Copies of this chain bind each other. A is one copy, B any other.
Amino acid sequence: MPGEMDKPLISRHLVDSDGSLTEALSQGPKVGILGSGDFARSLATRLVGSGFGVVVGSRNPKRTAGLFPAAAQVTFQAEAVSSPEVIFVAVFREHYTSLCGLSDQLAGKILVDVSNPTEQQHLQHRQSNAEYLASLFPACTVVKAFNVISAWTLQAGPRDGNRQVPICSDQLEAKRSVSEMVRAMGFTPVDMGSLASAREVEAMPLRLLPGWKVPTLLALGLFICFYAYNFTRDVLQPYVQEGRNKFYKLPVSVVNTTLPCVAYVLLSLVYLPGVLAAALQLHRGTKYQRFPDWLDHWLQHRKQIGLLSFFCASLHALYSFCLPLLRSTRYDVVNLAIKQVLANKSHLWVEEEVWRMEIYLSLGVLALGTLSLLAVTSLPSIANSLNWREFSFFQSTLGFVALVLSTLHTLTYGWTRAFEESRYKFYLPPTFTLTLLVPCVVILAKGLFLLPCFRRRLAKIRRGWEKDGTVKFMLPVDHVLAEKTSHV
């Protein structure tokens, strides 16, 4: 991506040409800022750049004045808050009480709380910073905003970064004024409801991929289980029962039999909750009843599970392509040739093995290709350009095709091995047989729902029909529609 827009052009121009702008800026509406840290300064720079008149309130204006752009007026706190209607409070929560002396001047005004708690503070206080500020200044309207924006983004302008500024307040008119300011500053306001959401809004910058936690742990858990299982079958059993050292298989070979299992099971877990939800809707005869929480969460995480499945499948492909590079593979081929020569056999060919390998590799490539289409269409910029029908074509139809291709890939890989006793090492069945369980359930259930009796009833329910028509105010739990945002 070209970096052409990266430099903080606005601030520079404004800082460079203060003189000429100072006059012009007196035209814009006036806003106040309390505080003199990095954020307050960047805020002042940005507000000045967006055409607002800025008055900064400081306890020591002389010392502070040099810290702010020349176009901003720096004065004593009491004076600064007297004329503007909107005042940004850019001080730490622990200093909120120091502003209490201003409560008379602030009465009736809009206070914008821009603060962010540290993780520790967030856990310690049940009350959000904004609600605490509101409790200190009951005569003011508190609006939470701008906390997700960094001082640097304020300076540089919202060129490439995320422009969304979540806003919440109990007073609609105040929310609307601040939204207008947000827009004027080049950001996009997002209404988050009443001030009760402030805690949630303050938690946003503290979040670390919340939607990925459970899916990633799930994938890791599956990896560890399957790795242990494959280790037992492929390395431990030969060592214990035949005394053969196959520990060299640990870094590549065992990983590469584990990865497809994880990818395959994860893919089936993307489609299992949809099947369960449909079954539940069929059973209940309505779509207006909430799903149990675990199912709801599962449905919300399908996208992440699907992308992890694709990641594992891609690693599986990379590991597979590494196999012929391995020294062990080379030695195997050479040793096979030597064995054939010593046994005086002139031609080696096992038709069944050839066919098995050709078919399952071809199916594997096709499954990966299909999955990659799913992954690409789940990129935000592409997903947003699809209508619902197109999105569901990719995620439902094509995703199901990928599941069927993976199942065929697994079955042809297994071939007749599930029925050969020699494959049951330590009495453990081959790994691929274990992985087939969930996918086959999903495929069978999907098939069942295509039967006319179920399909018709399901369609009726999803159009809003109910077994017993006593609807109260319940928004539809329309996860078929919800898939657009929550799915791969």
Contact = CB atoms under 8 A, between A and B. Distances in A.
Which applies to chain A's interface (DSSP): helix, strand, loop or mixed? helix
B368 A349 contact: no
A176 interface: yes
A11 B253 CA distance: 50
A248 B339 CA distance: 25
Contact of A20 (B170, B252, B478): B170
Nearest to A163: B384
Contacts of A467: none
A22 B321 CA distance: 63
A325 B361 CA distance: 9
Given A66-B473, A193-B10, A207 B318 contact: no
A10, A25, A70, A390 — which one has the most chain B CB atoms within 10 A of its CB? A390
Copies of this chain, complex-wide, total: 3
Contact of A331 (B38, B148, B348, B382): B348
Interface residues of A, number: 157
A385 to B, nearest CB: 5
A459 interface: no
B37 A464 contact: yes
Given A25-B172, A170-B20, A484-B152, A4 B362 contact: no
Nearest to A24: B172
10 contacts: A6-B485, A9-B193, A13-B168, A49-B191, A51-B176, A152-B476, A162-B385, A186-B191, A327-B350, A334-B340
**CB-CB nearest 7 A-B residue pairs:** A3-B211, A13-B193, A381-B381, A324-B324, A251-B362, A337-B337, A152-B481
